[in-house]
Amino acid sequence: MAEGVVPEVTGPLVRPRRLRRTPGLRRMVAETVVTPAQLILPVFVREGIGEPVPIASMPGVVQHTRDSLRKAAAEAADLGLGGVMLFGIPERKDATGSGAIDPGGILNLAIADVVGEVGDALTVMSDLCLDEFTDHGHCGVLTPDGRVDNDRTLELYAEMARAHADAGVDMVGPSGMMDGQVRVVRDALDAEGHTDISILAYSAKYASAFFGPFREAVASSLEGDRRTYQQDYANATEGVREALLDVEQGADLVMVKPALGYLDVVRRVRDAVDVPVAAYNVSGEYAMVEAAAAQGWIDREPAILETLTSIRRAGADVVLTYWAAEAASLLTSR
């Protein structure tokens, strides 16, 4: 080629693939990052069992004893997880879910156990709802004609919040989708001097088919469905409205549940509020990946990380997932 002659460019000038060429390059320009601190592990503790009980529809997940729960919490803290969300499964249920308020009830004991085990190394969260404790399986008390009584239920949520606070919880998660629940819980906590306890509001919680395995996990007694108080999956604007109402009432974080079928809602809520947004990667989403992987149809570990990254990419600051502990190990070994 003659001196001073510029070679003709025969290929594309812009080549986005340059930044995908090596693992180091891909890490450097990654737009979305998942870290263990952004992950919350939901855990189940069951009264009256001597050893952990596997949950058939959720391979790898168990109903814990109080002892095994303490060990799981310590492991979560060692892994650097953001927190644990505790769900209690009582031996006995009744129409008003009285075990949820009893200081000696399984959930209140579990809160104290975990706080005593991990201290400030892990955020201890509690599910503030009656459904695990009622013999009819609904998230509140019923009227004589079988409807959920919103305002009477709020009175019990206030009592439950005080019980969780007395047990030492860091954050309560009102999840029953009762109108006004965040305000009532905030007022109840503040009136007892628990002004530092934060609220993760289950703001956009949909009546979803993907909750199925969870009902096995908590030995649900549900009669009928929850469509009169959980949201219609056809609606996204409603989810944003609920989140905004919860922020007005004092929520410190808001949540969208489920996650994968509602990534558009996650994004819309993230754009609308000025508090952190959580999303719950629910039991049915977990079970689908596990079942497909067990059949050899998908590559399990990459699918887990891709799932969690997609939820973060949609705008979630925090992700509740049954893979939290495993994902933390995968992330730190990459």
User: Span 154-171, mean pLDDT?
Assistant: 98
Residue 195 within any structural domain of the chain: yes
Least confident of 76-85, 96-105, 161-170, 219-228: 219-228
Domain that holds residue 209: 36-333
Return the H-helix or E-strand segment holding 62.
strand 62-64
Residue 92 within any structural domain of the chain: yes
- Count of domains for the chain: 1
Residue 23 within any structural domain of the chain: no
Residue 20 within any structural domain of the chain: no
Residue 5 within any structural domain of the chain: no
Q: What are the distances in angstroms from CA 211 to CA 35, 215, 251, 281, 283?
A: 25, 7, 24, 10, 6
- 212 — pLDDT class (breaks 50, 70, 90): confident
257 is catalytic: yes
Say what the pLDDT of residue 4 is.
67
For 277-331, the pLDDT digits (tens) are 999 999 999 999 999 999 999 999 999 999 999 999 999 999 999 999 999 999 9
Whether 7 shows a pLDDT value over 70: the answer reads: no
For 71-108, the pLDDT digits (tens) are 999 999 999 999 999 999 999 999 999 999 999 999 99
Handedness of CA 194, 67, 221, 60 (dihedral sign): positive
User: Span 136-152, mean pLDDT?
Assistant: 94
Q: Which of 257, 268, 270, 312 is catalytic?
A: 257
For residue 204 the two structure tokens come to 């956009």
Say what the pLDDT of residue 239 is.
97
Residues 6 or more apart whose Cβ sits within 8 Å of residue 253: 171, 198, 199, 200, 201, 275, 276, 277, 278, 317, 318
Residue 28 within any structural domain of the chain: no
Q: Which of 93, 205, 226, 312 is catalytic?
A: 205
Q: At what angle do helices 106-118 and 66-78 cross, to 10 degrees?
A: 40
Residue 161 within any structural domain of the chain: yes
- For residues 201 and 182, the answer to whether their CB atoms sit within 8 Å is yes
CB-neighbour burial class of residue 311 (10 A; exposed 0-12, middle 13-18, buried 19+):
buried
- For residues 205 and 176, the answer to whether their CB atoms sit within 8 Å is no
- Give the percent of the chain with pLDDT over 70: 98
Whether 155 shows a pLDDT value over 80: the answer reads: yes
Whether 5 shows a pLDDT value over 80: the answer reads: no
205 is catalytic: yes
- Give the percent of the chain with pLDDT over 90: 90
For residue 53 the two structure tokens come to 């009980």
Residue 13 within any structural domain of the chain: no
User: Span 191-197, mean pLDDT?
Assistant: 98
Rounded Cα distance, 230 and 300, in Å? 31
Say what the pLDDT of residue 215 is.
84
- 37 — pLDDT class (breaks 50, 70, 90): very high
Say what the pLDDT of residue 217 is.
85
- 221 — pLDDT class (breaks 50, 70, 90): confident
- For residues 63 and 45, the answer to whether their CB atoms sit within 8 Å is yes
Whether 1 shows a pLDDT value over 60: the answer reads: no
Can you tell me whether residue 329 is helix, strand or coil? helix
Whether 41 shows a pLDDT value over 80: the answer reads: yes
Give me the CATH number covering residue 104. 3.20.20.70
SS3 content of the chain, % helix, strand, coil (to 5): 45, 15, 40
State if pTM tops 0.75: yes
